[in-house]
Amino acid sequence: MGDATNNKKILQNIKMPEQSNDYRVVVFGAGGVGKSSLVLRFIKGTFRESYIPTIEDTYRQVISCNKNICTLQITDTTGSHQFPAMQRLSITKGHAFILVYSVCSKQSLEELKPIWSLIRELKGDEISQIPVMLVGNKCDEPEELREVTNIEGQTEAATWGISFMETSAKENHNVTELFQELLNMEKNRNVSLQLDGKNKKKKEKKMLKEKAKEEKLLKEKKEKAKQQAKEKEKQTAKEAKEAKKKEEPKDKAANGTNAKGGKDKDKDGAAGAAAGAEGEASGTLKEKCKVM
Ligand SMILES: Nc1nc2c(ncn2[C@@H]2O[C@H](COP(=O)(O)OP(=O)(O)OP(=O)(O)O)[C@@H](O)[C@H]2O)c(=O)[nH]1
Ligand SMILES: [Mg+2]
């Protein structure tokens, strides 16, 4: 029983960072502002000119969190087919938010306002601790196509009380910086991008090693518990045997009375035998008489 409780405690103490430490970033913005392009540029390093509207996609990347490995989960939401229930769920589950507009569309900046209000409403007092970045994408576009200047974007972000950045998914400008900045704003845990392949591999190796060690320890504990249970079983059997042995002399005493009865039986047997012998003797006499 005691060992079973210990094993349970050990299991509870084992941390599974890749399961429990997801860091969720949600990307919001109107249709066509370049949300997917930013995410794909960051995750895969690619860019496509063609426009394929998104319904909702989630991407994962290994990052470091409190000197451990964890998963950065990026939700790329839809711009044109927004479902209020899905939006609310994404906000509730999100740890950080990227609000994207296109510098070529003032309308797209306006469309972010209701989303920002909803985030504030759902996060309540927590909001001051949540990393949020206002992003003006497509800053590579020529000046004549611009509808929102850099200063206007900055001013808007300052009014909302959040950070600001201009990006270009097309030219890979400020994309990694956007995600790194966002993670830097997280104050509750030390999250950081692990883009150095060597360090990532080293950390993953270390984590796997630690996991194997914990599993070995658990196996040993289980083995020990099994052994102890076996020994206990043996001990109980031994004690039962000894207890039986102790009871045996009493049984023998009780069997003594029966032995007496047995002797009586023998006596009867002897008497019978004597009678038989008598009969035999008389039989011989009779036969002798007949012959005579
Ligand atoms: N010039 C320029 N074009 C971009 C940039 N980012 C995206 N685009 C283009 O803008 C179009 C829309 O990009 P998406 O990334 O699909 O836009 P989205 O915000 O994900 O759109 P929805 O999924 O419908 O919400 C595509 O044709 C992209 O090639 C950029 O930084 N500069
Ligand atoms: Mg998209």
Does the global pTM surpass 0.85?
A: no
Distance from the CA of 192 to the center of ligand 2, in angstroms? 25
Angle at which helix 197-291 crosses helix 2-13, to 10 degrees, equals 160
Q: What is the pLDDT along the chain (292 residues), one digit of tens a residue?
A: 455 555 555 444 444 333 347 899 999 999 999 999 999 999 999 999 999 999 999 999 989 888 788 899 999 999 987 788 999 999 999 999 999 999 999 999 999 999 999 999 999 999 999 999 999 999 999 999 999 999 999 999 999 999 999 999 999 999 999 999 999 999 888 888 864 555 666 666 776 777 688 788 888 888 888 899 889 999 999 999 888 888 776 555 555 444 333 333 333 433 333 333 333 333 333 333 333 3
Query: Residue 218, class by beta-carbon neighbours within 10 Å (0-12 exposed, 13-18 middle, 19+ buried)?
Result: middle
Rounded distance between C-alpha atoms, residue 29 and residue 204, angstroms: 34
- List the beta bridge partners of residue 192: 64
Q: What is the pLDDT of residue 68?
A: 80
Pocket lining for ligand 1, CB < 6 angstroms: 29, 31-37, 48-51, 53-54, 78-80, 137-138, 140-141, 168-170
Nearest ligand 1 atom to alpha carbon 169: 31
Q: Tell me which residue has its CA closest to atom 14 in ligand 1.
A: 34
